[in-house]
Structure 1
Protein backbone atom coordinates (compact mmCIF):
# COMPACT_ATOMS: atom_id res chain seq x y z
CA UNK A 1 0.00 0.00 0.00
CA UNK A 2 1.40 3.36 -0.99
CA UNK A 3 1.36 6.12 1.60
CA UNK A 4 1.49 9.88 1.09
CA UNK A 5 2.75 12.63 3.36
CA UNK A 6 -0.23 14.86 4.15
CA UNK A 7 0.52 18.49 5.01
CA UNK A 8 -1.56 21.58 5.65
CA UNK A 9 -1.05 24.99 4.04
CA UNK A 10 -2.98 28.21 4.32
CA UNK A 11 -3.30 29.35 0.70
CA UNK A 12 -4.64 27.27 -2.16
CA UNK A 13 -2.49 27.75 -5.22
CA UNK A 14 -3.64 26.59 -8.62
CA UNK A 15 -0.69 26.34 -10.95
CA UNK A 16 -1.13 26.74 -14.67
CA UNK A 17 -0.15 23.74 -16.79
CA UNK A 18 3.58 23.20 -16.55
CA UNK A 19 6.10 21.10 -18.37
CA UNK A 20 7.94 20.02 -15.23
CA UNK A 21 6.59 17.14 -13.19
CA UNK A 22 6.78 19.01 -9.87
CA UNK A 23 4.26 21.35 -8.25
CA UNK A 24 5.12 24.64 -6.55
CA UNK A 25 3.83 26.63 -3.56
CA UNK A 26 4.44 24.28 -1.84
CA UNK A 27 7.00 22.29 -3.79
CA UNK A 28 6.14 18.63 -4.31
CA UNK A 29 6.60 15.83 -6.80
CA UNK A 30 3.82 14.49 -9.00
CA UNK A 31 1.60 12.14 -6.97
CA UNK A 32 1.88 14.05 -3.69
CA UNK A 33 -1.34 14.75 -1.75
CA UNK A 34 -1.86 17.60 0.73
CA UNK A 35 -4.79 19.02 2.70
CA UNK A 36 -5.85 22.64 2.19
CA UNK A 37 -7.32 23.72 5.51
CA UNK A 38 -8.67 27.02 4.16
CA UNK A 39 -10.90 25.27 1.62
CA UNK A 40 -11.36 21.98 3.47
CA UNK A 41 -10.27 19.94 0.48
CA UNK A 42 -7.51 17.56 -0.45
CA UNK A 43 -5.41 18.53 -3.46
CA UNK A 44 -3.04 16.39 -5.47
CA UNK A 45 0.02 17.18 -7.56
CA UNK A 46 -1.04 16.11 -11.08
CA UNK A 47 1.55 15.55 -13.80
CA UNK A 48 1.58 18.58 -16.07
CA UNK A 49 -1.30 20.34 -14.27
CA UNK A 50 0.05 21.43 -10.89
CA UNK A 51 -2.15 21.28 -7.76
CA UNK A 52 -5.66 19.95 -8.47
CA UNK A 53 -8.52 19.84 -5.95
CA UNK A 54 -10.28 16.49 -5.36
CA UNK A 55 -13.88 17.43 -6.07
CA UNK A 56 -16.23 17.32 -9.01
CA UNK A 57 -15.76 20.90 -10.23
CA UNK A 58 -12.00 20.94 -10.65
CA UNK A 59 -12.10 20.79 -14.42
CA UNK A 60 -9.38 18.20 -14.14
CA UNK A 61 -8.79 16.10 -17.21
CA UNK A 62 -6.39 13.21 -16.86
CA UNK A 63 -3.41 13.47 -19.21
CA UNK A 64 -3.73 11.15 -22.19
CA UNK A 65 -2.23 7.73 -21.80
CA UNK A 66 1.04 7.08 -23.56
CA UNK A 67 1.32 5.47 -26.98
CA UNK A 68 0.54 1.75 -27.04
CA UNK A 69 1.72 -1.36 -28.89
CA UNK A 70 5.24 -0.04 -29.52
CA UNK A 71 7.39 -1.71 -26.91
CA UNK A 72 10.47 -1.98 -29.12
CA UNK A 73 12.55 0.93 -30.39
CA UNK A 74 11.53 1.67 -33.96
CA UNK A 75 7.99 0.35 -33.57
CA UNK A 76 5.09 2.40 -34.90
CA UNK A 77 2.60 2.98 -32.08
CA UNK A 78 -1.16 2.73 -32.38
CA UNK A 79 -1.35 6.53 -32.59
CA UNK A 80 1.03 6.62 -35.58
CA UNK A 81 4.07 8.02 -33.78
CA UNK A 82 7.29 6.00 -33.57
CA UNK A 83 9.10 4.90 -30.42
CA UNK A 84 12.49 6.56 -30.98
CA UNK A 85 14.42 5.38 -27.93
CA UNK A 86 15.20 6.46 -24.38
CA UNK A 87 15.83 10.11 -23.60
CA UNK A 88 19.27 11.06 -22.24
CA UNK A 89 17.72 13.03 -19.35
CA UNK A 90 16.20 10.19 -17.39
CA UNK A 91 15.85 7.24 -19.79
CA UNK A 92 12.22 8.12 -20.51
CA UNK A 93 10.55 6.70 -23.62
CA UNK A 94 10.79 9.27 -26.41
CA UNK A 95 8.57 9.31 -29.49
CA UNK A 96 8.92 11.02 -32.84
CA UNK A 97 6.83 11.69 -35.91
CA UNK A 98 7.18 9.33 -38.90
CA UNK A 99 8.32 12.21 -41.13
CA UNK A 100 10.23 15.49 -41.02
CA UNK A 101 8.57 18.88 -40.84
CA UNK A 102 7.20 19.74 -44.30
CA UNK A 103 9.76 22.54 -44.77
CA UNK A 104 13.17 23.56 -43.52
CA UNK A 105 13.38 26.09 -40.69
CA UNK A 106 15.97 28.48 -39.34
CA UNK A 107 17.01 28.25 -35.69
CA UNK A 108 16.17 31.92 -35.20
CA UNK A 109 13.93 34.16 -37.30
CA UNK A 110 16.23 33.88 -40.31
CA UNK A 111 17.96 37.23 -39.78
CA UNK A 112 21.43 38.31 -38.70
CA UNK A 113 20.07 39.84 -35.47
CA UNK A 114 21.83 37.22 -33.39
CA UNK A 115 21.04 36.83 -29.70
CA UNK A 116 23.33 35.65 -26.94
CA UNK A 117 20.60 33.81 -25.08
CA UNK A 118 20.70 33.21 -21.33
CA UNK A 119 20.81 29.44 -21.77
CA UNK A 120 23.95 27.43 -21.18
CA UNK A 121 25.92 26.80 -24.36
CA UNK A 122 26.17 23.21 -25.57
CA UNK A 123 29.63 23.06 -27.10
CA UNK A 124 30.74 19.43 -27.10
CA UNK A 125 29.56 16.21 -28.72
CA UNK A 126 27.26 13.77 -26.87
CA UNK A 127 27.13 13.30 -24.04
CA UNK A 128 27.17 17.06 -23.69
CA UNK A 129 28.44 18.66 -20.50
CA UNK A 130 25.70 21.30 -20.25
CA UNK A 131 22.16 20.33 -19.25
CA UNK A 132 20.90 22.10 -22.37
CA UNK A 133 22.54 19.35 -24.41
CA UNK A 134 19.87 16.95 -23.06
CA UNK A 135 16.79 18.96 -22.10
CA UNK A 136 15.02 19.71 -25.37
CA UNK A 137 11.62 20.15 -23.73
CA UNK A 138 12.95 22.89 -21.44
CA UNK A 139 15.01 24.42 -24.26
CA UNK A 140 11.95 24.66 -26.49
CA UNK A 141 9.83 26.25 -23.77
CA UNK A 142 12.59 28.80 -23.17
CA UNK A 143 12.91 29.67 -26.86
CA UNK A 144 9.16 29.99 -27.36
CA UNK A 145 9.00 32.33 -24.37
CA UNK A 146 11.94 34.53 -25.45
CA UNK A 147 9.62 37.04 -27.11
CA UNK A 148 11.77 40.09 -26.37
CA UNK A 149 14.84 38.93 -28.28
CA UNK A 150 15.74 40.71 -31.55
CA UNK A 151 15.79 37.49 -33.56
CA UNK A 152 12.52 36.07 -32.17
CA UNK A 153 10.67 33.92 -33.14
CA UNK A 154 12.98 30.91 -32.97
CA UNK A 155 11.40 29.17 -35.91
CA UNK A 156 12.43 25.52 -35.49
CA UNK A 157 11.41 25.46 -31.81
CA UNK A 158 8.19 27.34 -32.61
CA UNK A 159 7.25 24.75 -35.22
CA UNK A 160 7.58 21.82 -32.82
CA UNK A 161 5.91 23.66 -29.96
CA UNK A 162 2.92 24.44 -32.17
CA UNK A 163 2.64 20.95 -33.65
CA UNK A 164 -0.45 18.85 -32.93
CA UNK A 165 -0.04 15.33 -34.29
CA UNK A 166 -0.99 11.75 -33.39
CA UNK A 167 -3.32 13.01 -30.67
CA UNK A 168 -0.71 15.08 -28.81
CA UNK A 169 0.31 18.72 -28.66
CA UNK A 170 3.37 18.47 -26.38
CA UNK A 171 5.98 18.08 -29.13
CA UNK A 172 9.30 19.87 -28.84
CA UNK A 173 12.57 20.37 -30.71
CA UNK A 174 15.04 17.76 -29.43
CA UNK A 175 18.23 18.83 -27.68
CA UNK A 176 21.55 17.76 -29.16
CA UNK A 177 21.82 14.51 -27.22
CA UNK A 178 18.15 13.68 -27.91
CA UNK A 179 18.75 14.25 -31.61
CA UNK A 180 21.65 11.84 -31.31
CA UNK A 181 19.20 9.19 -30.05
CA UNK A 182 17.32 9.57 -33.34
CA UNK A 183 20.56 9.18 -35.29
CA UNK A 184 21.66 6.14 -33.27
CA UNK A 185 18.32 4.41 -33.91
CA UNK A 186 17.67 5.73 -37.42
CA UNK A 187 17.96 2.32 -39.06
CA UNK A 188 15.86 0.55 -36.44
CA UNK A 189 12.39 -0.72 -37.26
CA UNK A 190 10.00 1.80 -38.75
CA UNK A 191 12.44 4.68 -38.20
CA UNK A 192 14.49 3.27 -41.08
CA UNK A 193 14.16 5.43 -44.16
CA UNK A 194 12.12 8.20 -42.54
CA UNK A 195 14.89 10.81 -42.45
CA UNK A 196 15.75 13.15 -45.32
CA UNK A 197 19.48 12.55 -45.63
CA UNK A 198 19.95 13.99 -49.12
CA UNK A 199 17.85 17.15 -48.98
CA UNK A 200 18.77 20.68 -50.00
CA UNK A 201 22.00 22.19 -48.66
CA UNK A 202 23.16 21.53 -46.06
CA UNK A 203 22.07 18.01 -46.89
CA UNK A 204 20.88 15.82 -44.05
CA UNK A 205 21.44 18.28 -41.19
CA UNK A 206 18.79 18.57 -38.48
CA UNK A 207 18.41 21.33 -35.91
CA UNK A 208 18.60 20.66 -32.21
CA UNK A 209 17.26 23.11 -29.64
CA UNK A 210 20.75 23.46 -28.11
CA UNK A 211 22.57 26.75 -28.62
CA UNK A 212 26.36 26.75 -28.98
CA UNK A 213 27.33 30.42 -29.57
CA UNK A 214 25.73 33.79 -30.23
CA UNK A 215 25.61 32.90 -33.92
CA UNK A 216 25.21 29.12 -33.93
CA UNK A 217 22.94 26.29 -32.86
CA UNK A 218 23.93 22.65 -32.63
CA UNK A 219 22.94 20.43 -35.54
CA UNK A 220 23.57 16.85 -36.59
CA UNK A 221 23.78 15.20 -39.99
CA UNK A 222 21.65 12.09 -39.86
CA UNK A 223 23.44 10.32 -42.73
CA UNK A 224 26.71 9.90 -40.80
CA UNK A 225 26.08 11.41 -37.35
CA UNK A 226 28.42 14.37 -37.85
CA UNK A 227 27.84 17.26 -35.40
CA UNK A 228 28.35 20.89 -36.30
CA UNK A 229 27.71 24.46 -35.22
CA UNK A 230 25.38 25.85 -37.87
CA UNK A 231 24.50 29.48 -38.50
CA UNK A 232 21.20 30.21 -36.76
CA UNK A 233 19.66 31.68 -39.91
CA UNK A 234 20.36 28.54 -41.97
CA UNK A 235 17.36 26.50 -43.06
CA UNK A 236 17.70 22.92 -41.78
CA UNK A 237 15.45 19.90 -41.44
CA UNK A 238 13.37 19.49 -38.27
CA UNK A 239 12.08 16.37 -36.56
CA UNK A 240 9.99 16.87 -33.42
CA UNK A 241 9.85 14.54 -30.41
CA UNK A 242 7.79 14.10 -27.25
CA UNK A 243 8.03 12.04 -24.04
Structure 2
Protein backbone atom coordinates (compact mmCIF):
# COMPACT_ATOMS: atom_id res chain seq x y z
CA UNK A 1 0.00 0.00 0.00
CA UNK A 2 1.41 3.43 -0.93
CA UNK A 3 1.28 6.24 1.61
CA UNK A 4 2.58 9.81 1.21
CA UNK A 5 5.74 10.62 3.10
CA UNK A 6 4.17 13.73 4.64
CA UNK A 7 0.96 14.23 6.54
CA UNK A 8 -0.67 17.03 8.47
CA UNK A 9 -0.73 16.49 12.21
CA UNK A 10 -3.63 18.30 13.81
CA UNK A 11 -2.83 18.63 17.50
CA UNK A 12 -5.59 17.97 20.00
CA UNK A 13 -4.94 21.17 21.95
CA UNK A 14 -6.76 20.30 25.14
CA UNK A 15 -5.89 16.60 25.30
CA UNK A 16 -2.90 15.53 27.38
CA UNK A 17 -0.14 13.98 25.31
CA UNK A 18 -0.21 10.74 27.23
CA UNK A 19 -3.88 10.21 26.31
CA UNK A 20 -3.31 10.45 22.55
CA UNK A 21 -3.90 7.23 20.68
CA UNK A 22 -1.59 6.09 17.93
CA UNK A 23 -2.52 4.81 14.46
CA UNK A 24 -0.50 2.14 12.72
CA UNK A 25 0.35 1.50 9.06
CA UNK A 26 1.48 4.21 8.86
CA UNK A 27 2.24 5.26 12.40
CA UNK A 28 0.71 8.61 13.29
CA UNK A 29 -0.65 10.52 16.30
CA UNK A 30 -4.31 11.11 17.03
CA UNK A 31 -5.70 13.84 14.75
CA UNK A 32 -3.32 13.25 11.84
CA UNK A 33 -4.75 13.47 8.33
CA UNK A 34 -3.34 11.57 5.37
CA UNK A 35 -4.30 10.87 1.78
CA UNK A 36 -4.50 7.17 0.93
CA UNK A 37 -3.40 7.01 -2.70
CA UNK A 38 -4.45 3.37 -3.14
CA UNK A 39 -8.10 4.15 -2.35
CA UNK A 40 -8.28 7.85 -3.28
CA UNK A 41 -9.57 8.92 0.12
CA UNK A 42 -8.53 11.22 2.93
CA UNK A 43 -8.26 9.46 6.28
CA UNK A 44 -7.96 10.72 9.83
CA UNK A 45 -6.35 9.08 12.84
CA UNK A 46 -9.07 8.47 15.47
CA UNK A 47 -9.26 6.46 18.66
CA UNK A 48 -10.67 3.69 16.47
CA UNK A 49 -7.76 3.80 14.04
CA UNK A 50 -7.72 5.22 10.51
CA UNK A 51 -11.17 6.35 9.26
CA UNK A 52 -12.06 7.68 5.81
CA UNK A 53 -13.61 11.12 5.54
CA UNK A 54 -15.26 10.36 2.21
CA UNK A 55 -14.91 8.32 -0.90
CA UNK A 56 -15.20 9.53 -4.46
CA UNK A 57 -18.78 8.98 -5.62
CA UNK A 58 -19.41 6.05 -7.87
CA UNK A 59 -21.11 6.62 -11.21
CA UNK A 60 -24.70 5.38 -11.01
CA UNK A 61 -24.38 3.79 -14.44
CA UNK A 62 -21.25 1.74 -13.76
CA UNK A 63 -21.01 1.41 -9.98
CA UNK A 64 -17.38 2.55 -10.22
CA UNK A 65 -15.58 5.89 -10.18
CA UNK A 66 -15.09 5.68 -13.95
CA UNK A 67 -17.60 7.18 -16.36
CA UNK A 68 -19.47 4.97 -18.82
CA UNK A 69 -19.21 5.43 -22.55
CA UNK A 70 -21.94 7.48 -24.18
CA UNK A 71 -24.66 5.10 -25.28
CA UNK A 72 -24.02 2.55 -22.53
CA UNK A 73 -27.12 1.02 -20.98
CA UNK A 74 -27.11 1.31 -17.20
CA UNK A 75 -28.16 -1.49 -14.88
CA UNK A 76 -31.52 0.26 -14.37
CA UNK A 77 -32.23 0.16 -18.13
CA UNK A 78 -31.74 3.87 -18.86
CA UNK A 79 -29.02 4.97 -21.29
CA UNK A 80 -26.17 7.33 -20.55
CA UNK A 81 -26.58 10.14 -23.11
CA UNK A 82 -23.62 12.39 -22.29
CA UNK A 83 -23.23 15.56 -20.24
CA UNK A 84 -26.11 17.98 -19.84
CA UNK A 85 -25.12 21.58 -20.66
CA UNK A 86 -27.09 22.47 -17.53
CA UNK A 87 -24.14 22.05 -15.17
CA UNK A 88 -22.10 19.59 -17.25
CA UNK A 89 -23.45 16.67 -15.26
CA UNK A 90 -24.30 13.16 -16.52
CA UNK A 91 -27.63 12.96 -18.34
CA UNK A 92 -29.64 9.82 -19.02
CA UNK A 93 -32.51 9.05 -21.35
CA UNK A 94 -35.02 6.31 -21.92
CA UNK A 95 -34.31 3.66 -24.57
CA UNK A 96 -37.38 4.70 -26.57
CA UNK A 97 -39.68 7.63 -27.31
CA UNK A 98 -43.04 8.07 -25.64
CA UNK A 99 -44.96 4.77 -25.99
CA UNK A 100 -46.36 3.63 -29.30
CA UNK A 101 -44.79 6.43 -31.27
CA UNK A 102 -47.21 8.88 -29.67
CA UNK A 103 -46.82 12.58 -30.36
CA UNK A 104 -47.49 15.36 -27.90
CA UNK A 105 -48.27 19.03 -28.35
CA UNK A 106 -46.17 21.63 -26.55
CA UNK A 107 -49.28 23.25 -25.10
CA UNK A 108 -52.82 21.88 -24.86
CA UNK A 109 -53.13 21.67 -28.64
CA UNK A 110 -55.13 24.89 -29.04
CA UNK A 111 -54.37 28.42 -30.20
CA UNK A 112 -55.17 29.90 -26.78
CA UNK A 113 -51.52 30.87 -26.60
CA UNK A 114 -49.73 32.08 -23.51
CA UNK A 115 -46.53 34.07 -23.64
CA UNK A 116 -44.78 32.29 -20.79
CA UNK A 117 -42.63 34.32 -18.42
CA UNK A 118 -39.51 32.38 -19.33
CA UNK A 119 -36.61 33.87 -21.26
CA UNK A 120 -36.92 33.30 -24.99
CA UNK A 121 -34.56 30.73 -26.49
CA UNK A 122 -34.00 32.53 -29.79
CA UNK A 123 -30.87 30.97 -31.27
CA UNK A 124 -29.59 27.53 -32.17
CA UNK A 125 -27.28 25.50 -29.93
CA UNK A 126 -25.47 26.62 -27.97
CA UNK A 127 -28.31 28.97 -27.12
CA UNK A 128 -27.71 32.31 -25.42
CA UNK A 129 -30.58 32.24 -22.93
CA UNK A 130 -30.41 29.99 -19.87
CA UNK A 131 -33.70 28.39 -20.88
CA UNK A 132 -31.88 26.88 -23.85
CA UNK A 133 -30.09 24.62 -21.35
CA UNK A 134 -32.26 24.31 -18.22
CA UNK A 135 -34.77 21.63 -19.17
CA UNK A 136 -35.42 20.51 -15.61
CA UNK A 137 -36.33 24.05 -14.51
CA UNK A 138 -38.31 24.67 -17.71
CA UNK A 139 -40.38 21.53 -17.16
CA UNK A 140 -41.11 22.35 -13.52
CA UNK A 141 -42.22 25.84 -14.59
CA UNK A 142 -44.56 24.53 -17.30
CA UNK A 143 -46.07 21.86 -15.08
CA UNK A 144 -46.76 24.47 -12.43
CA UNK A 145 -48.42 26.96 -14.83
CA UNK A 146 -51.90 25.65 -14.09
CA UNK A 147 -53.63 29.00 -14.53
CA UNK A 148 -52.62 29.57 -18.14
CA UNK A 149 -55.31 29.34 -20.87
CA UNK A 150 -53.34 26.75 -22.89
CA UNK A 151 -52.51 24.53 -19.91
CA UNK A 152 -51.67 21.66 -19.70
CA UNK A 153 -48.34 21.74 -21.51
CA UNK A 154 -48.59 18.20 -22.76
CA UNK A 155 -44.99 17.33 -23.68
CA UNK A 156 -43.61 18.63 -20.38
CA UNK A 157 -46.46 17.00 -18.45
CA UNK A 158 -45.67 13.62 -20.01
CA UNK A 159 -42.03 13.67 -18.95
CA UNK A 160 -42.78 15.08 -15.51
CA UNK A 161 -45.30 12.30 -14.88
CA UNK A 162 -43.08 9.51 -16.18
CA UNK A 163 -41.86 6.82 -13.80
CA UNK A 164 -39.35 4.56 -15.52
CA UNK A 165 -36.23 2.58 -14.66
CA UNK A 166 -36.76 3.23 -10.98
CA UNK A 167 -36.90 7.03 -11.26
CA UNK A 168 -39.62 9.68 -11.38
CA UNK A 169 -37.46 12.78 -11.95
CA UNK A 170 -37.65 12.79 -15.75
CA UNK A 171 -38.12 16.05 -17.62
CA UNK A 172 -38.48 17.44 -21.14
CA UNK A 173 -34.99 18.43 -22.29
CA UNK A 174 -34.19 22.02 -23.13
CA UNK A 175 -33.02 22.79 -26.67
CA UNK A 176 -29.30 22.32 -25.98
CA UNK A 177 -29.92 19.13 -23.97
CA UNK A 178 -32.01 17.82 -26.87
CA UNK A 179 -29.08 18.62 -29.13
CA UNK A 180 -26.86 16.40 -26.96
CA UNK A 181 -29.27 13.55 -27.74
CA UNK A 182 -29.09 14.38 -31.45
CA UNK A 183 -25.29 14.62 -31.45
CA UNK A 184 -24.98 11.24 -29.71
CA UNK A 185 -27.94 9.50 -31.39
CA UNK A 186 -25.72 6.93 -33.12
CA UNK A 187 -23.60 6.11 -30.10
CA UNK A 188 -23.86 2.67 -28.50
CA UNK A 189 -27.37 1.63 -27.47
CA UNK A 190 -28.82 5.00 -28.51
CA UNK A 191 -28.33 4.00 -32.15
CA UNK A 192 -31.59 3.31 -33.93
CA UNK A 193 -33.83 4.43 -31.05
CA UNK A 194 -34.88 7.80 -32.54
CA UNK A 195 -37.35 8.51 -35.32
CA UNK A 196 -35.31 9.76 -38.27
CA UNK A 197 -37.71 9.06 -41.13
CA UNK A 198 -40.41 10.87 -43.05
CA UNK A 199 -41.57 14.46 -43.14
CA UNK A 200 -43.07 16.59 -40.39
CA UNK A 201 -44.05 15.52 -37.76
CA UNK A 202 -41.90 12.37 -38.13
CA UNK A 203 -38.36 12.82 -36.77
CA UNK A 204 -39.21 16.07 -34.96
CA UNK A 205 -38.72 16.26 -31.18
CA UNK A 206 -39.94 18.90 -28.77
CA UNK A 207 -37.69 20.73 -26.36
CA UNK A 208 -38.96 22.58 -23.29
CA UNK A 209 -37.55 25.90 -24.57
CA UNK A 210 -40.04 28.57 -25.67
CA UNK A 211 -39.31 31.05 -28.43
CA UNK A 212 -42.38 33.35 -28.40
CA UNK A 213 -46.10 33.38 -27.71
CA UNK A 214 -47.01 30.95 -30.50
CA UNK A 215 -43.96 28.73 -30.84
CA UNK A 216 -41.31 26.66 -29.08
CA UNK A 217 -38.02 25.07 -30.08
CA UNK A 218 -37.86 21.61 -31.67
CA UNK A 219 -35.23 19.61 -33.52
CA UNK A 220 -35.44 17.35 -36.55
CA UNK A 221 -33.37 14.25 -35.87
CA UNK A 222 -33.06 13.18 -39.50
CA UNK A 223 -30.88 16.21 -40.31
CA UNK A 224 -30.33 18.04 -37.01
CA UNK A 225 -32.14 21.27 -37.87
CA UNK A 226 -33.39 23.29 -34.90
CA UNK A 227 -36.27 25.68 -35.36
CA UNK A 228 -39.41 27.40 -34.18
CA UNK A 229 -42.68 25.47 -34.42
CA UNK A 230 -46.28 26.14 -33.41
CA UNK A 231 -47.04 25.01 -29.87
CA UNK A 232 -50.19 23.15 -30.97
CA UNK A 233 -48.20 20.78 -33.22
CA UNK A 234 -47.70 17.14 -32.28
CA UNK A 235 -44.06 16.01 -32.11
CA UNK A 236 -42.18 13.10 -30.57
CA UNK A 237 -40.90 13.29 -27.00
CA UNK A 238 -37.78 11.78 -25.46
CA UNK A 239 -37.42 12.42 -21.73
CA UNK A 240 -34.16 12.80 -19.84
CA UNK A 241 -32.96 13.00 -16.25
CA UNK A 242 -29.76 14.16 -14.57
CA RMSD of aligned residues (A): 1.5
Alignment of 1:23-62 (within 5 A): none
Work out the CA distance in 2 between the residues paired with 1:122 and 1:112.
Answer: 20
Alpha-carbon offset, residue 67 of structure 1? 3.3
Structure having the larger proportion of residues in strand: 2
Partner of 1:68: 62
Tell me, what secondary structure is at the counterpart of 2:234? coil
Alpha-carbon offset, residue 170 of structure 1? 0.1
Tell me, what secondary structure is at the counterpart of 1:94? strand
Work out the CA distance in 2 between the residues paired with 1:138 and 1:204.
Answer: 25
Alpha-carbon offset, residue 228 of structure 1? 1.1
Work out the CA distance in 2 between the residues paired with 1:131 and 1:90.
Answer: 11
Partner of 2:124: 125
Cα displacement string for residues 34-70 of structure 1 (whole angstroms, at most 9, x for unaligned residues): xxxxxxxxxxxxxxxxxxxxxxxxxxxxxxx833367
Partner of 1:216: 215
Cα displacement string for residues 85-139 of structure 1 (whole angstroms, at most 9, x for unaligned residues): 0011221000000000021000000001000000000010011000000000000
Aligned residues: 180
Q: Does 1:79 align with 2:73?
A: no
Tell me, what secondary structure is at the counterpart of 2:229? strand
Partner of 1:96: 93
What is the TM-score when the length of structure 2 is the normalising length?
A: 0.72
Tell me, what secondary structure is at the counterpart of 2:227? strand
Alpha-carbon offset, residue 80 of structure 1? 0.5
Rg larger in structure: 2
Q: Does 1:191 align with 2:185?
A: no
Tell me, what secondary structure is at the counterpart of 1:157? helix
Work out the CA distance in 2 between the residues paired with 1:66 and 1:152.
Answer: 35
Work out the CA distance in 2 between the residues paired with 1:67 and 1:153.
Answer: 33
Partner of 1:19: none
Partner of 1:137: 136
Work out the CA distance in 2 between the residues paired with 1:78 and 1:220.
Answer: 29
Q: Is the 8 A contact 1:68 1:79 kept in 2?
A: no
Work out the CA distance in 2 between the residues paired with 1:66 and 1:110.
Answer: 37
- Give unpaired runs (5+ residues) of structure 1: 2-64
What is the TM-score when the length of structure 1 is the normalising length?
A: 0.72
Tell me, what secondary structure is at the counterpart of 2:91? strand
- Give unpaired runs (5+ residues) of structure 2: 1-7, 9-58
Work out the CA distance in 2 between the residues paired with 1:67 and 1:200.
Answer: 35
Tell me, what secondary structure is at the counterpart of 1:141? helix
Partner of 1:112: 111
Work out the CA distance in 2 between the residues paired with 1:200 and 1:130.
Answer: 29
Cα displacement string for residues 152-177 of structure 1 (whole angstroms, at most 9, x for unaligned residues): 00000000000000000000000000
